[in-house]
Amino acid sequence: MLPHSQCLVKNSLMKNPFLLLLLFITGSFAAHAQKKYDYPFQNPALSIDARVNDLVSRLTLEEKANQMLNSTPAIERLGIPPYDWWNESLHGVARTKYPTTSYPQAIAMAATFDVKAMKQMGDFTSDEGRAIHNESLRKKDYSRYTGLTYWTPNINIFRDPRWGRGQETYGEDPFLTASIGTAFVEGLQGSDPKYLKAAACAKHYAIHSGPESSRHTFDVNVSNHDLWDTYLPAFKQLVVNAKVAGVMCAYNAYQGQPCCGSDKLMVDILRNKWNFKGYVTSDCGAIDDFYKTHKLFPDAESSATDAVLHGTDVECGNRTYKSLIKAVQDGKLSEKDIDVSLKRLFTIRFRLGMFDPISMVKYAQIPLTNLESQAHKNLALKMARESIVLLRNAPFSGQKNNLLPLSKHLKNIAVLGPNADNANTQLGNYNGHPSEVTTVLAGIKSKVPDANVFFSRATDFVSTEQPDFSKLIDSLKNEDVIIYVGGISPRLEGEEMKVHTPGFSGGDRTSIDLPSVQTEFLKALKATGKPVVFIMMTGSALAIPWEQQNIPAIVNAWYGGEAAGDAVADMLFGDYSPSGRLPVTFYNSDADLPPFDDYSMQNRTYRYFKGTPLYPFGFGLNYTKFVYSNLKLSKTKIRKNETVTAEVTVTNSGNMQSDEVVQLYLTHESAQNVPLYSLKGFKRISLKPGTSEKVQFTITPEMMKVIDDEGKSVLNAGKIKIDIGGSLPSQRSIELGAPRPATAQIMIQ
């Protein structure tokens, strides 16, 4: 029998598992502190700074240079294994040999306006990434896409819908981009006070959004206003507040200097103003561009020197930074300059627990069974549902009710189109490969198993000839409804692609119009007299003015990930009310757009576009009706240092439970050269029919500031209009069926 005192201790430990864990960790540290190590950097009891300084001091010049390539060799004499910095997790762990959960494409996740789900997605993604990393280490597999440094998220502003990589972003708005990006970074990197679960990387810094064909050569020179008002806010948020571990500098030049060697971007802003302590990687081959395409330096040695002195720590590539050895020997930079970068790089690896025993790093114990867990799959479905944007829902041929949702008792359904049974489109780009992808065709068949479902691809995405639809159209005479799943594909839009076909070139789009073959086919479908549902898959805004006027139901399903088919079926047949909102403006035609290579924000995005859009930013319909009323402000007249609370009542006056995305916009009515509208808050809520909820926003002085012509953030006296509603507070939104926003006004004295 144990003595009484020992029994008390045992009982205390059993009642307090945290105390037990604390004692275990303390004991583990004590054991490691007493252990004999060959080198101080191996001792986990020492501070990370002390360990990093010791390690770097032991490296030769050649070893140092090789550790600044993305694929680093082992340093066997010190027991340091190889490591490749390059990994991807845009919407789930990507490009790995293991099956992983594939969430909707980034632009689709932005359409959810759901920061809670986005943070959970980042958390689940790094769980799977850790599981793969842990298994790879066990197998001594140090190949690319096994590491923990993910070059994600892409927080460039999607300023022009023709940019093929816009699908990788969170849309056109700085506030939404910063909010969604922050949630992802916090989820991915974890909350442990000592260890990173994974390291996120904000890219591409900065002012980078196409064209793809000139990204290695163009030199952009935007106004200070546009720089600080549009292009930098999301980067500032992720660096200063979200504490992102890494930043990737862009290919292009800014004010005559490559972004990876920019005095203003890299030194003045990133390191000095924002006090960034993490690591910077170049985009892949960007240091080569210094002398090969920008032609600002005579050779690799000078280019590498300039990049390092500007704070680019890793070259994604394997050539230019090898010349750093000779650059030091020639006196162009010192070994201490290289040490600055090496210390940043090894600090990240130590923070990831790569040099500590597995028993000390809880993330190092995540097993491979974590991949594609049911919780992860459930979240992929939830986010796919929340991303779907209902653009139009009208009665068919004089009927009383809107066409959607469809009845589950339909007997004959035609599912047509190039994206109806296309798993590749759903997965977007920078994607993983899940074990199972549910297409729209499969989702519909599962949802209505007793229906006769006819399928035909019907059209290609693009056609250079006039197809003959007559035979197919004749076969549709007995169908109760026709569902056409078209749009475009990540095989047409994306990063620097070898694609040259009508409407697409090099990864970008030469026109935002829906490819003409699809519009012509939809015209033929309308002529059948059957109800037609048009489901679009796309990573960017499409111009569909004819469809908006003539097709009763139009749905934007983006590239919805592994569960897109089930999500679309849930929405079509009324098991889920659509609640996604557009993170970009949908324009009427190419004529609405300034030149693609013009980086001025004049007449771009909802914030500065003076025309009437086809579908506004923030827009999306539900299967129910929401009413906004009784907007109350804590104050209507304030001084410049005061905060205002805004409260609005949101009521579901319809017949179906639904989520609603409540959006807060500010308009500075008396200021010049400021956005027409600015999104400053949003909350996703869920309401049952006949119920209401009071939603509050806190409007701080920082939220009420604007950027002046010098790029400074200022708070001016004058009137600020406040709109809270379910879409951009424009007349076009109301015309399309969005609820009328509640409006109030603040006077800043």
> Which residues participate in catalysis according to the annotation?
283, 493
In whole angstroms, give the CA distance from residue 735 to residue 268.
46
Count Cβ neighbours within 10 Å for each residue of 223-236 and write b for 16 or more, e otherwise.
Answer: bebbbbbbbbbbbb
Q: Is 104 exposed, middle or buried, given 0-12, 13-18 or 19+ CB atoms closer than 10 A?
A: buried
In whole angstroms, give the CA distance from residue 482 to residue 534.
9
| 3-class DSSP assignment, residue 265 | helix
Task: Look up tokens 């252990």; give the residue.
Answer: 35
Check: CB of residue 118 under 8 Å from CB of residue 109.
yes
- Would you state the structure tokens that stand for residue 200, as one six-digit string? 């996120």
Q: Within 10 Å of residue 294's Cβ, how many Cβ atoms?
A: 22
> Bridge partners of 744?
722
Check: CB of residue 195 under 8 Å from CB of residue 133.
no
In whole angstroms, give the CA distance from residue 602 to residue 589.
17
Check: CB of residue 699 under 8 Å from CB of residue 722.
yes
Q: What end-to-end distance do the CA atoms of the chain give, in Å?
A: 77
Question: In the Cβ-directed half-sphere of 85, how many Cα atoms lie within 13 Å?
Answer: 30
**DSSP 8-state assignment for residue 554:** E
Q: What is the residue type of 551?
A: I
In whole angstroms, give the CA distance from residue 660 to residue 725.
10
Chain mean position to CA 583: 11
Check: CB of residue 556 under 8 Å from CB of residue 373.
no
In whole angstroms, give the CA distance from residue 549 to residue 640.
47
Give the residue among 333, 259, 332, 248 at the shortest CA–CA distance from 294.
259
Whole-angstrom CA distances from 394 to 552, 570, 670 are 5, 19, 39
In whole angstroms, give the CA distance from residue 53 to residue 59.
11
Whole-angstrom CA distances from 531 to 303, 398, 419, 457, 526 are 61, 11, 19, 18, 8
